[in-house]
Amino acid sequence: MNFEWIQIPYSLLTLFIVINYGLLLNAFIAKIAARIGRRHGIHLFQNHIDLIKNYSLRTSITHGVMFYLGPVFRLGGGVGLLLFVPTLYGSEMFSNLSFSGDLILALYFVFFGALGMALGAGESGHPHAAIGVSRGLSQMTTAELPFALAVFSVSLQYQTLSITEIVSLQQGGFLNWTLFTNPLAVAAAMLSFLGSMMRPPFDVVLAPQEIPIGPPTEYHSSYLAMMQTNRTIFPIAKIVIYMNLFFGGAASWPVFFLKVFLIYMVSVFVGVVFPRFRVEQSIRWFLIYAVPLGILSILWV
């Protein structure tokens, strides 16, 4: 498949759909958490209002170039991850730029945003920035390790690194999904998924129970809006990878919305049930439970 300029507007349309669906989904999840706490929760369109408001603000505070490039890199990682992965299987309109890369490129985009934010935090001048960077990179490394092992297992199983080909090999019924043909890889990847979503009990970076410091308070105005946009795009972009690799992909938007919602609810359910881990507990949990499953999935193949 070769690049055609007509794919750019379709890619932007995909981005527009995902952003709006992500904003509504995050608001719905916030309402679920509020209802559990016997509160009413936010309005479904509150995230849209906050995003528009923050993009309209400007700042005169100066911390350094890299500090402000952090949210740009973060957003670039989420957008790149989404655009280089096919959204709908069998659709030329919504295949995005998936033909330009492969599974390895998608894995690079997963790390790109987090590393950019680490560089940005390092130039903030905040005395606790090093703590946040060490927390984030430590958990990210241990959480992504079982996912990488699961990806290697899947690529060995299907003998390809093309996400589109992996989805095509899962067609013909749900029993052909990787969920049933390689359950160990899916188990390792889903445990990794809990950590990568940065929801309880793995929200050791944001640490909302502690003194409110870190990116949500250090960044403001349009830079905060960029981070909010990424928090909308990146989870769904990563869920799209999971959906394509392990759950047969999606051939239509209704199926896409349903599968994304169900996969997202896994992390939401765990988040409202379990309290937050400490950093060392989180790292130990991934190394003890998730990594061995990833290794066994490779041996399974």
Residue with token string 């973060």 = 74
CA–CA dist 26, 35 (Å, integer): 14
Task: Quote the pLDDT of residue 68.
Answer: 79
Counting residues of the chain whose pLDDT is more than 70, the rounded percentage is: 91
In this prediction the pTM is 0.87
Rounded to an integer, the average pLDDT of 244-270 is: 90
* pLDDT(216) > 70: no
Q: Which residue has the higher pLDDT, 117 or 240?
A: 240
Q: Which amino acid is at 116?
A: G
* pLDDT(258) > 90: yes
Rounded to an integer, the average pLDDT of 145-149 is: 90
Rounded to an integer, the average pLDDT of 203-228 is: 70
Answer whether 218's CB lies under 8 Å from 124's CB.
yes
Rounded to an integer, the average pLDDT of 139-154 is: 88
In 85-102, which positions are buried (b, 16+ CB within 10 angstroms) versus exposed (e)? bbbbbebeebbbbbeebb
Range of lowest pLDDT (20-34, 83-97, 211-225): 211-225
Q: Kindly tell me the number of DSSP H helices and DSSP E strands found in the chain.
A: 13, 0
Range of lowest pLDDT (86-90, 103-107, 213-217): 213-217
* pLDDT(215) > 80: no
Rounded to an integer, the average pLDDT of 198-214 is: 67
* pLDDT(1) > 60: no
Range of lowest pLDDT (190-199, 208-217, 219-228, 244-253): 208-217
Rounded to an integer, the average pLDDT of 196-211 is: 71
Mean pLDDT in the chain? 83
CA–CA dist 91, 17 (Å, integer): 15
* pLDDT(124) > 60: yes
DSSP conformational letter for 125: -
* pLDDT(267) > 60: yes
Rounded to an integer, the average pLDDT of 40-66 is: 82
* pLDDT(247) > 90: yes
